Amino acid sequence: MLTGLRLDNIALIERLELAFDHGFSVLTGETGAGKSLLLDALDALLGGMQGTSAGRLVRTGCDRAVIEATFTPDDAARRWLQEHQLDDEGGDLVLSREWRRQDERLSSRSRLNGTVVNRQQLLQLRPLLIDL
């Protein structure tokens, strides 16, 4: 279950922190308020959006951008983490993706509880955490 989301320098958002309590959460707002942007950010975080598509999420004029989400994994996700030696002994799971711009080149790195992970790992874990 998604319990928190943080965006730094993502599209028009300088900084945003959201906490999701247990139960059902609803995001509402006017057209253009950024609801789809939150879904795009989660997609990019979980390995779906790559290359220039993901690069468009970086706020104009910024050299660094971060998406970070906190999850409380269920038993299936916990088993996957253990099988891939990424379990942090029963705590929450923190996924992050950071973009850095250097000399007009944009690169990104994904981490799971501080450990660098690749896109294939994210795509395997994704359906165990969220349904987009």
Instruction: Answer whether 70's CB lies under 8 Å from 92's CB.
Output: yes
Spatial contact of 80 and 124, defined as CB atoms under 8 Å apart: yes
What global pTM score does this model have? 0.89
Reported as half-sphere exposure (CB side, CA atoms, 13 A), residue 62 has a value of 20
The domains found in the chain, sorted by start residue, are: 2-21+35-129 (3.40.50.300)
Residue 88: per-residue pLDDT: 67
* 71 has a pLDDT exceeding 90: yes
Q: Is the pLDDT of residue 132 over 80?
A: no
31-42 pLDDT, tens digit each: 877 788 899 999
**What are the start-end ranges of the E strands in 1-132?**
2-10, 13-19, 64-71, 93-102, 105-112, 115-117
Query: Do the strands 13-19 and 64-71 form a parallel or antiparallel pair, or are they unpaired?
Result: unpaired
